Structure formats: C-alpha cells, structure tokens
Structure 1
Amino acid sequence: MSEKSGSEGRIQWSRFFKKLSPYMIQKGLLYLRHYGLKEFWIRLHERFEPEEIPYGPWYEAYAPDQTVLDKQRKKKFVYAPLISVVVPAYRTPQLFLKQMIDSLIAQTYENWELCIANGSPEEESMRKTLEEYSSKDSRIRWMDLNENKGIAENTNAAFSMAKGEFVGLLDHDDLLSPNTLYEIVNALNEHEQADAVYTDEDKVTAELDEHFQPHLKPDFNIDLLRSNNYICHFFVVRRQLVEEVGGFRREFDGAQDYDFIFRCVEKAREVVHVPEILYHWRTHKASTADNPASKMYAFEAGRRAIEAHLERTGVKGTVSHTADLGFYRVKYPVQGHPLVSIIIPNKDEKETLENCLESIRKNTLYDNYEIIIVENNSTTDEIFEYYKKISADPRIHLICWKKEFNYSAINNFGVKNARGEYLLFLNNDVTVITEDWLGEMLGVCQRREVGAVGVKLLYPDNTIQHAGCVVGIGGIAGHMFVDMPAERTGYLHKASILQDMSAVTAACMMMKRSAFDKAGGFTEQLAVAFNDVDLCLKAGKAGYLVVYDPYVKLYHMESKTRGAEDDDAKIRRFQREIEYMRSNWIGILKNGDPNYNKNLSLTKWNYSLRPIPGMSGKNDEKD
C-alpha cells in the first residue's frame, strides 16, 4: 500500500456532528472516563474517520430489490425445513414489536414460525399487538410467562415453543432482512452437514432511517470467537443440538448467547457462514448495541464463557479483558520445554544482523532455543569477522548456502540443519519488541490444531507493516492495515486480537516441524515472492490453523533491505511466481479468502467496503 490515506485516520466532523446529541455526549463521557484521554481520542478517530465508501449509499445499492425478492418467493427448495425464530420479549415498545414481527411476515421464505415468550404480560400494548398479529397469521405464536425470569430463562421458554428443525435467535427490538431465511435455507441445501449457520449484520437507528457499522464476518474462526463474540446475529442452529446442549444458562446472563454459541459450535458437525447482511441490530438508549461501557457484568460473563469453553475442550489458557470491552485475550501457556530453532538467512548486513540477535538476547525469556544463521554468499570482511565473534555462543550455528539466492531453498536448507520440534523463520532485518515473544508464539503454536503463528510487524515509524495476510488483496495476497498507526486497533479491532488467517508473513513465523513436513516445506519454485503465503495455504490444506498473534510485536526494516523488482530478470521471475500462485491456488483466489469477506475491498488494506458495480461516482473493483 503506497498511500497512508486509507489507514492513518482523521475525524470526519460532519459525521461526528450529525451523531451529536445529549445521549451521545453522555455516552462519550462514560467512554472518556473508562479509556482516558489518549485512548478515547484514538477511538474517536477510528469511529468517525471518513468512510472511503459510505455505508448508507452502499447498503441501498446492496439490498435486494423487489424483482430479486419476488424471484426468491417462487423458489422451491429440495430441502425446506421449518425455521423457528425465537424471541424473548420484555417491555418491548409497541412500534419496535410491530416492526420486528413485520420483518418476519416480509420473509421470501415462508416455512417459518415466530415463537415469542412474553416476559411482561402486564403490558397491555404488547398483549394487544401479539393478539392482533397471531389472529391474522397462524405462524405467529406467543405465550405469557408468569414472571420475568431474565434473558436466559425467557429465551429457554421461547425455545420450548419451537417445532422447527432449526431455531434462530432474534432480539425483540431487532429486524431481519426480507431475504434472511431464504439465504439460510439456501445454505442448508448446499451444506447437508450444517448444524449451525450465522450471517453478517449491521446496526440501524431507532427510527430505522440509517444503517451503519456493518459487521462483515469471516467463515468460522475459532480464535476470533475466543477473542470476541463475532458470530452474534443472526445465529440459526439445529433444534436437536439446542436440546443436546441445554439452551441458555442464566449464570451467563449478559453473555448468554456467547456461552450458547460456544456450546453449539463445539458439537456442530459443520458451522456455515452466510456472507450477507441479514440482521439489523437496533441501537437505542436501552440497547447493548450502543452502550457497551455501562455493562461490565456482561463482559465479565463473556470472559467466563470463554473459560468454560476452554475447560470443556481441554485447552489450557488464561482469559483476560482487553482495553476494548467485549474483546478478550486468551494466553496459552507453554507446555513442556521443547527446542525452538530460529532460522535466519543472512547476506552481509552485519549491523542489521547484530541488532536482530541483540534484540533476541534481550527479549527472550523462553530459554530452550537455537539460532541457525544461513549464510548466503556474503562478500564483506566485516560480516565474516562478526560470524567469528558470535560463534562462541553455543546457541548459534552458522551454515553456508553456496547456491544462488532462493528464499525457499535457503529456509528448507536451514530446516534440514535444525534440531527443534518448532521452527521459527525470522528475517535478519527485524528487531524484537515484545518481552517473552518466543513463549507467546510457542504457547499458541503448541495447540494441536495450529500449524503456524505470525505476529504484528511495525515499521520503524511505528506504523503497521503486517497484521496478517489476506489472499486476493492486490491480486494474489497482501498484508492488512499497512501504514496504520500502531496504537490503533483497526476495523473491529482486528489488528489487535488473536484470530485465524489464511496466511501470515514468514518475516517472523513459527511452525510445528510436523506441520512444516506435512505441508512439504517451502515451494522452491517460489524463490522470492509468495512462498510464505503458499506454505501457509499448504498447511491449511493439510488441516492446520494459521494464527495471527498481535501480542508479539517486532520492528521490520523491510523498506531498507528489500530491493526493487526493477530489472528484466526480476520482473520475469515475479511474473512466474504470480502464475504459480494463480494456477495452484485458483480456488481461494476465485472464491475468496474464507477468513475475509466477499463484501470487503481487494484493493484496500483496511477492511474498506468493496464497491458495488453501478454505484455512482465509484470505481468498480475487478475480480
């Protein structure tokens, strides 16, 4: 990314003043008290930075028109299950209740039932509305509860009403798009093993006059789920599974859906993501969608939900809150004392290598490691004198690569000479910032399902160089959040939370040796470009997760040491590597990165919206 305009952040004051109200001022003061002035200012920039593509007009172009909806109504599915939409209702404003029910009546898929558990039977306006709608449409059913038992027990009462094969969770003041259930059933027809389905969502104002803050999600991502309840709305699950896991648990009130989702996905044969914005979360004074800082009990319940999930799945980890409430960190302890082999290719660059090794020495608390320097055709006397100096360190081993430069072959050669159970590929032009960086990476990498771990890399000016890779960005693959100030957390805090990615850079990447071997090592046809992306994709194909861990930070001097692709031979080599990736990974390039979202840009690095063809004044992106 050559420009910083997409990531550096500035306040769009017109949006700020449009949102300003006494309630918003009160909310802002709560946030200021919680975060402090510096962190509050950073978050204010992130919340009100200019949208490269404004979401309001984008959503208008995105939403299906009447022609599409009419076509959906005529669709005859091979598999057409009854979907029970369950709603725990409590003192729901009459207008909100009507609008919620109307959003069900407008569904293009008609085999549904609405099951409303009314926790406020004394509310006459609610009773009147429920009686009116249920008398006109037999699919709308409701029951009065003797008392308000809280969100968990009220939802369980609604669950008990459900007759459908699948059950969907809807809040009493929210809305579904008219095509929501159609898209869910379409996904169920394509995925016979699916036990759970979730969709993308956005927020709407109380008056429904503005859609904002779209949450465009990846496919199922266990590390992201342990960092935040990203699944949230709209969540549809097989009723048999609801009965098996036991519904909601009142001890997790405030995060009862988070706990429930964990228990469902732990047992689901397949969890399917529908990458369409099908749920609209209404924001108003009483809504958690718009007032997170006031509900600390809910965030504490979320932390306990993650702990319970880890305990059920036999995973050791310590869960803590991050500065961004509702987002969590799981720290995985190192198990045992395995040897880690740090492999560093090097050519000349004595001072660069010295800085790298010194930062490792100062910041590495985990003590069982070796460093393998793969000497690659150096020519200066200075570097060979330095090699003699460091040879006294029993942890450092120097091996010599005497063929032409090939990053993949050099690292494969390093692995052959490594003794470690874990391999850490490291560029010579990085310096470690984080104390216990090695232990942090190792704790994540030791998990049975993890094959590779990457980290957050910063330029010397404290802007981001790498926060995970997305396949398809810039044509083949690209780093996320390039040039964004390091103190910022980015779209939905994705620069700063643990999550699974399709690839990470090998400038600092740890792999299990067994995963490296199963993936077949680095592809030596990729001498310079995309070899790390290719290796990560091979590891993913072999069944391993690739994890981005932002809690490890290093400086990367890439701009200093990387030469330009400016001569004919380099250009031809680069074109060959592009063709290799296109021919070998056409599936993910064509279908999209499962850890990204089809509605996000492939030309921007900051999770911007992808322009919709035909939007006025915008350049359409090409596939």
Structure 2
Amino acid sequence: MSPANQTEKLNSGDLLSEQIPSQDSEEIRQTLHAVADRIVSGSSPSPVLAVGYRAGDLVEELRSRGVEAFAFPSGCVDRSESDSLRSSNRAEGPLPDGLPEQFGLVVAIDLPSRSKETVALMTELCGRSSRILFVSLSGQEAVCAGLLASKGFYRMSEETGEMALFAKTGDAAGAIERYEEVLRTLQARGAELESAKQKCQKLTAQYAKLQNDYLTVKREYQRATGSLSWKITKPFRAVKHLFKRLCDKNRFFRLFYKGLASLRNNGFRATLMRVKLSRLNKNDFKSYMKQHAVSSEELNRQKSVKFNQDITFSILVPLYNTPEAYLHEMIQSVLDQTYSKWELCLADGSDAEHSEVERICLEYAGRDSRVRYKRLEQNYGISGNTNACMKMAQGEFISLFDHDDILHPSALFETMMAITEQGADFVYTDEMVFEGQPDNVTLIHFKPDFSIDTLRGHNYICHFSSFSAELARKVGYFSENHNGSQDYDMVLRLCEQAKRIVHIPQVLYFWRSHPGSVASDVSVKPYCMVSAKKALADHLERVGLRGTVTDSTIPSTYKINYEIEGEPLVSILIPNKDYTADLDKCIRSIQDKSTYSRFELIIIENNSELPETFAYYDSIQKEFSNVKVVQWKGPFNFAAINNFGFSFATGEYILMLNNDVEVLTPNWLEEMLMFAQREDVGAVGAKLYYPDDTIQHAGIIVGIGNTAGHAHKGFPRTDGGYIHRLTIAQDLSAVTGACLMTRRSVWEQLGGMDEDFVVAFNDVDFCLRIRQAGYLVVFTPYAELYHYESKSRGYDDTPEKKQRLDREATRLRSRWKDIYENGDPYYNPNLTLDREDFTLR
C-alpha cells in the first residue's frame, strides 16, 4: 500500500482518540522534544520507527539529533503537507514496504488501545522490535499491556504520565517478580507515607499547643513586666545581678550562691548532704594525692626502664595568650616526665600583646630540642591551632594537653606501659581539678573503663588522652565545626575506630580551675554545649543510630532520644503473692500513666493464701484485657517464677517488674525500649526511689559489700550523683531485676535466669551472663519508679534466710571470680567497696 493510499485510509478511518489535544499546542512540541532527548540520552537505538499521532514531528526531532528514524504514516514527515493532513494522521497496519525489517526502538504515540487496527499493528510491531516506547500526548496512558505480555513484553521503566518503556524478555516470571517487588516497595512507601502523615499531624498539633503556650507565657510575661511591682523591684534585681557577678569572680561568693541555689532546688536535707560529702571528698582528695605522691626512688626507677617498643609521644599544646606562670608550669611538667621520648608541639596563635608567649617558648626550645615551637600567622581557634600542632607531630603516639594545665611526671610512663603491655591504641587516665596550686585539690574524677553510653552522656574521658598516629590518620584532624567541644568530637571519632581502648585508673593529669576556664564553670563557654550536641549527632549518624540529642538536667551532660522502631509488644512479668493493694497500685500506675500502650501484663501468682487475692485476680482480668494471671505452684524461686512467666509471654521484649513498684514517668517504657532495641544492648534498668524520694537503685556495682550494691543508694532524688552519674544513661555491670527490660532473643539465648539463685543475686548473675555474651547493660535515669521493696516476699531477717543469702553470695563470687578479683570495670578501683556513695577507699 502506497503512503498516499495509507494516508487516505487513515483520514477516512475513525481511530483518532477523543482526547488528542490541539495540533499546534506548544506543550506537545515540548513533550516531543523531551521524548527525543530521552531516546538519545538512553541507548540511542537506531533505526527508530515512530507510529501514530505527530509521528513525523518526533522523527524530525530525532533526525536533528543524528538518529536514523522513520514515521508511520510517512506523510507527516514532510512539513509541506497540509495542516489537515498533519493533524489527522492515523496509524493502521500493516506497515508499508521499504521500511527496515527490524528497529532498535518503536515509539507508539497516542494509539487507541481498543481499536482492532491498533491490535493488528501492535502485533506486527512486536515482531519488528524488542523495545516499544509508549508516549501519551493526551495525558492518558494508552497501552496494550495484555497483548504485549502475550508477546513477551514487560514494562521495564518507571516512567509515569507521558512515557512507558516495554522490552521483550524471555524471563516472564522474572519480570513479574520484579513488578511485584516494585509493587511491594510502593505499598511499603505508601505505609511509610501514611505513618509520616500521622506523625506530621501529631507534631502539628504539638506545635500548635506549644505556640499557644508560648503566647500565654508571653502575655503573662508582658503583664508581669508591665506591672507596678516589677518596676518598683528593679533596683533589687540590679543588686541581685551585681551579686551574681561578684560570685562568678570570687570562689567563696560563688560557693555561697551555689548553696542558695541548692537550697531552693533541692531543699535543706539534700543541700546539707552535699555540703558534708563535698567537705569529706575534698579532705579525702588531698589525702589521696599525698598518699599517692611518687617518691624520687620510684621516679628514678621509671627513668631506667627499657621498653620493647620504640615510641615517641607528640604532645600537642595549642597556645593562645597563655599567662606566663601557667606556661612555665605546663612546659616544666613535660620536661619532668620520667619517659623521655617525647616532643612538645607548641602552635602559638597569641596576639601581639602577648609576645612573651613566643619569647618563653623559644627559650625552652633553645635549651631542649624536643620542644618545638611554631608561630601562627593568626589565631585559628582551638581546633585550627590544635591541627597546626598535629601537622608538626612526628611521633608514633599523639597526646593532648591544654596550655594552662600540668602533667603528672609519670603520665607518659604509665601510658607507655598500657601500650606495650595491653596493646592499646587509645589510652586515657584519671584526672584532678585544682585551684591555685596543685595541692589545693577541689575534685578528682575517678573514671570507669571504656563505656560508650557514659561517653554519650558526657565527655568523661577528657584528660589525659593519647592515641596512635595510625589511629589519628584514620579519623583526621580536629573539626572546626565543633569548636568548644572539638576534643569531645575527636574522642568520639577515636573510640569509633580504636581497636583497644585502655583506661589507667591513676590521677596523671592536673586540670587547672580559674575564672574563665571550663573546669571552673562550663557556663562560661555556653557555645561548648551547642558544639557537643552537634558532635554527638554526627557520631550517631556515623555509627548508624537514629536519635536526637538534647541537654540533660546538668550543663555539659546530654540525653539521646533513640528512635523507636515500630510498636513492638512488651510483656511485663510481675510475680505476686497476696498484697493486692500494692499490686493494684502497680498495675493502675502502668495502665493509667504509660504513654506506650503496646504491652501485656502477666501476673505470676505464687502461693497466695488470702481468698480476696484470687477474687482480685478475677476482677482485674475482667477490667483490663491485657492482664493475664498464671499460677506458679512450686516453692518461691524468683528466677524460676520469672522463667515460668516467660513461657506465657508473647512480646518481643520482656520486662521483669516487682509488684511493689509505682510508675512515675509516663514514658518509662519508651525510655527503656529505646535502649533495648539496640543490637549491642542486652538489658536495661530504671531509676528507682524509696517512698521518701531517696535513691533505691541507680544501677548495680559488683563488689560492694563483697557481693553487689546499688549505686548512690540513699542519695536525694534531686542529686546529680558522683560526676553527674545520676543524670545520664550509662553502661554498668548489672541492674536490678525489680525493673529490667531485655529482648526475647537475649532471654532465649541465655536460657532465662539461673534457678540456682533462688532469691538473691539472680538479676546480677543474669546481667553478668548478658555481658559475657557480648551485650551491654544500660542504666537510664529517665525511667523513674517508686519501689517499696520486698513487701511481697519479705526481708532476709531469719537465720535460715540469712544462710540462704550467704550461699547465693558465695555462688555469685565463685562464678564471677575474675570480676571480683579485677574489679567492676564500670567502677573505679580507687572508690570504696564498703559503701554505695562513691567516696574513696
């Protein structure tokens, strides 16, 4: 059939879709232009056959790009054709003679899918090309998917609206599988979108509420500040601010002001306890430093020790307007080191008014070649100046040192011992804070061994830290995006990459406290806390954890709200014998206060004697559909009872809970679940109070009382604890079974609790086995409950009970002999084992 006859037939046919747009639409021209670009940018198939409406226009676009192309009908290639011819082109098979037998690509433009002629044409086209691109100019997709599938063609692209590419494949099952996979992905994304939409709505509501609260507070503030009383009291406020400034400058005024603040926030009893502990600690600190002063004989011995490794320490000290006295003391403390292979890298960014810094450094450098000095063109900030030091370093290990502090003469020697004997590539020590002279000790920070969650709560590692040059090359320079907390950021990056982190439990660094220093008051540099939160957020991203970083209750401490995945079921196991009033208080506090609703309560009845107890069980199960009572018929065995209760649990997470607790924080389950979901965590414990608002449990220290004791027991509820440990989440050796969450998989891996520990220490043993399996045990202070302790079981106050307690304590010490001999890694060996108050031995 000739092209003219073909065109005439098409003109007389009725194949034109009612949706075909106007022939001169600029939008159509742009669409065809984009289609041509899409074809050329792909595999540039040749030759190309365009069929259907405006096929000639597309061919022109292709030919202008150097692509061999043909149109069917062919008449629309010639732009000299009449407008009526170009506007009414229809495609109807068979294809005319003279065209290539095979095409690299067929482009079908607005073919009516219901036409018999189209079906016939498509059948022929399927035999002439292995790829067919459908183009819609009408805004509707018109493809013969069924016909194409019967010919072995399946959709290969996710183009939407205007284009859809089909290709011939012999693997129909595979194509269907790919399609179904795409469909599943889209469904999942739809679910995610719906979830995100709900969260967005919730956040929008929260924002609206906060905005309303803000406006309310703003109105109240404006009303208060505009009142007569506010104006009258202006002189008194001025006096108060003046007094506070005096307090900041004078140590005694500062302590007095802090005391007043403590009285206001914590009350008289807690403040008195803090004052007593502070006095006791300061006296103990001074005594400790005197007792642990290194003799001249020991210093000489250290100087004579030969190590099996040749390591030079590059000590980095960025300088900026350093006071002369501090500078002399700092450099001299390095010269006094008993380990002699070191270099002191001094990068000086001081201004012109402090030229004495350069003069003093050059004097020392002239006397000792190990002292290396570099004058910087300008002050690049703490990070930039430290990086300048790092570029000067030539040693195998890097040590960080502040320009106004002092090193213990054995600092490098003990660090070298840790490197050679324990294979450490990152080492940190204990440190003390002093005012004026080093013998005026105000605080000693006795640190735990490496604890990632403690580190995420605050930079407890701090001084004195050393790391291998190889490790430094992996993590890079100090980040200028974290100025003020650049050391925190660096420590986090080092710990992510280090192979062996070693803590030396000796005070080898003396941190000077003076006005303007962070050691004196972190609030003097508030930007440090902003940088610290950014460092933590960056750390979470690097290690693949999702969460947000917020301030904790004490400045320079932080809280991470880890993202909870999904809404897993939590099975709460509560052993009970009588005492239904306490059980009811426990259950109702969970049901009424908990913001997390996906939980079940399994009450494990064991040997109750009162009829009203069983009547209560019936009523509570009728009242709450998520309460189930199961009956343990054996003798009391806390471990066995919980193992029995676990057999009825259906949740992915298991929470052991005493019947004599009462929930305080509504989001207590979320606070525990966010840690329990982490793959590296095996157990999570909560913060428990006695009814008088003193600490009952804030984690367990193994070794206290020759068995195990509760950290900070008896401290006021509002107390921050030793070095803020009551305000941050942290890793510990154990937590109490009175409120302990774990994953079902961990419970099953360990085989549950050891039933040889009938009453006591079964929770400690359980946690130690969790740690032995490679998991962390985390204490969070943000899940808070009252604990009325042992009401159901009673106390170990009879000879028989005391004997049983002794047997179980002996079993615990025997099983975990290494821990008792070497000490709890999360508790410093310099601290007492006689009490739970973190005082010195």
TM-score by length of 1: 0.91
Deviations 1:150-172 (A, max 9, x none): 00000000001111111000000
- When structure 1 is superposed on structure 2, of 542-551 and 202-211 the one drifting more is 202-211
Q: Match for residue 162 of structure 2?
A: none
Cα pair distance change 1:147/1:321, threshold 3 Å? same
Deviations 1:337-376 (A, max 9, x none): 1111100001111111111101111111111111111110
Q: What is the one-letter code of the residue matched to 2:752? A: G
Q: What is the one-letter code of the residue matched to 1:545? A: L
Q: What is the one-letter code of the residue matched to 1:422? A: Y
Matched-pair contact (CA < 8 Å) for 1:219–1:595 = yes
- Equivalent residue in structure 1 for 2:741, among 510, 514, 519: 510
- Taking the aligned partners of 2:809 and 2:672, their CA distance within structure 1 comes to 30
1:100-249 alignment, distance < 5 Å: 100-120=330-350, 122=352, 123-192=354-423, 194-249=424-479
- Equivalent residue in structure 2 for 1:384, among 610, 614, 627: 614
- Alignment of 1:412 onto 2:639: no
1:1-400 alignment, distance < 5 Å: 23-24=250-251, 27=254, 37-38=264-265, 46=274, 49-51=278-280, 54-120=284-350, 122=352, 123-192=354-423, 194-392=424-622, 393-400=624-631
Give the structure, 1 or 2, with the largest relative contact order (CA under 8 Å, sep 6 or more): 1
- Taking the aligned partners of 2:718 and 2:648, their CA distance within structure 1 comes to 39
Shift of 1:191: 2.1
- When structure 1 is superposed on structure 2, of 172-181 and 89-98 the one drifting more is 89-98
Shift of 1:262: 0.8
- Alignment of 1:466 onto 2:697: yes
- Alignment of 1:433 onto 2:659: no
- Taking the aligned partners of 1:567 and 1:164, their CA distance within structure 2 comes to 64
SS at structure 1 position matched to 2:559: strand
- Taking the aligned partners of 2:248 and 2:739, their CA distance within structure 1 comes to 46
Shift of 1:333: 2.5
Shift of 1:519: 2.6
Q: Match for residue 583 of structure 1?
A: 814
- Taking the aligned partners of 2:794 and 2:676, their CA distance within structure 1 comes to 32
CA RMSD of aligned residues (A): 2.1
Q: Match for residue 687 of structure 2?
A: 456
Matched-pair contact (CA < 8 Å) for 1:34–1:293 = no
Percent identity (aligned) = 44
Cα pair distance change 1:39/1:529, threshold 3 Å? closer
Matched-pair contact (CA < 8 Å) for 1:31–1:40 = no
- Taking the aligned partners of 1:115 and 1:456, their CA distance within structure 2 comes to 46
Shift of 1:118: 1.1
- Taking the aligned partners of 1:146 and 1:26, their CA distance within structure 2 comes to 40
SS at structure 2 position matched to 1:54: helix
- Taking the aligned partners of 2:383 and 2:400, their CA distance within structure 1 comes to 12
- When structure 1 is superposed on structure 2, of 123-132 and 76-85 the one drifting more is 123-132
Cα pair distance change 1:106/1:607, threshold 3 Å? same
Q: What is the one-letter code of the residue matched to 2:480? A: R
- Taking the aligned partners of 1:112 and 1:387, their CA distance within structure 2 comes to 72
- When structure 1 is superposed on structure 2, of 289-298 and 543-552 the one drifting more is 289-298
- Equivalent residue in structure 2 for 1:493, among 718, 724, 729: 724
Cα pair distance change 1:436/1:330, threshold 3 Å? same
Which of the two has higher C-alpha Rg? Answer: 2
Q: What is the one-letter code of the residue matched to 2:534? A: R
SS at structure 1 position matched to 2:696: strand
Deviations 1:425-451 (A, max 9, x none): 000011111102111111111011111
Matched-pair contact (CA < 8 Å) for 1:317–1:333 = yes
Shift of 1:36: 9.8
SS at structure 1 position matched to 2:586: helix
Q: What is the one-letter code of the residue matched to 2:280? A: E
- Alignment of 1:551 onto 2:779: no
Deviations 1:92-149 (A, max 9, x none): 1111111111111111111111111111274332222212211221111111111111
- Taking the aligned partners of 1:33 and 1:565, their CA distance within structure 2 comes to 42
Matched-pair contact (CA < 8 Å) for 1:35–1:323 = no
- When structure 1 is superposed on structure 2, of 485-494 and 422-431 the one drifting more is 485-494
Matched-pair contact (CA < 8 Å) for 2:687–2:697 = yes
Matched-pair contact (CA < 8 Å) for 1:31–1:293 = no
- Alignment of 1:479 onto 2:699: no
Shift of 1:579: 1.5
Matched-pair contact (CA < 8 Å) for 1:468–1:480 = yes
- When structure 1 is superposed on structure 2, of 174-183 and 278-287 the one drifting more is 278-287
Shift of 1:560: 4.1
Shift of 1:72: 1.4
- Taking the aligned partners of 1:397 and 1:152, their CA distance within structure 2 comes to 59
Matched-pair contact (CA < 8 Å) for 2:247–2:257 = no
Cα pair distance change 1:333/1:22, threshold 3 Å? closer
- Alignment of 1:530 onto 2:761: yes
- Taking the aligned partners of 1:412 and 1:561, their CA distance within structure 2 comes to 18
Deviations 1:450-500 (A, max 9, x none): 110001100111111001100001111000111111111111121121101
SS at structure 1 position matched to 2:250: helix
Q: Match for residue 444 of structure 1?
A: 675
SS at structure 1 position matched to 2:629: strand
SS at structure 2 position matched to 1:254: coil
SS at structure 2 position matched to 1:50: helix
Matched-pair contact (CA < 8 Å) for 1:32–1:40 = no
Matched-pair contact (CA < 8 Å) for 2:247–2:253 = no
- Taking the aligned partners of 1:33 and 1:308, their CA distance within structure 2 comes to 38
Q: What is the one-letter code of the residue matched to 2:840? A: L
Q: Structure 1 regions of 5+ residues with no counterpart? A: 1-18, 611-623
Shift of 1:65: 1.8
Q: Match for residue 798 of structure 2?
A: 567
Q: What is the one-letter code of the residue matched to 1:51? A: L
Q: What is the one-letter code of the residue matched to 1:73? A: K
SS at structure 1 position matched to 2:279: coil
Deviations 1:213-234 (A, max 9, x none): 0011001111111110111111
Matched-pair contact (CA < 8 Å) for 2:249–2:515 = no
Cα pair distance change 1:602/1:571, threshold 3 Å? same
Q: What is the one-letter code of the residue matched to 1:46? A: R
Q: Which has the higher helix share?
A: 2
- Taking the aligned partners of 2:500 and 2:749, their CA distance within structure 1 comes to 24
- Taking the aligned partners of 2:592 and 2:698, their CA distance within structure 1 comes to 24
Cα pair distance change 1:40/1:286, threshold 3 Å? farther
- Taking the aligned partners of 2:471 and 2:248, their CA distance within structure 1 comes to 44
Cα pair distance change 1:528/1:35, threshold 3 Å? closer
Deviations 1:277-313 (A, max 9, x none): 1111011123221131221111111111111111111
Shift of 1:26: 6.4
Q: What is the one-letter code of the residue matched to 2:784? A: K
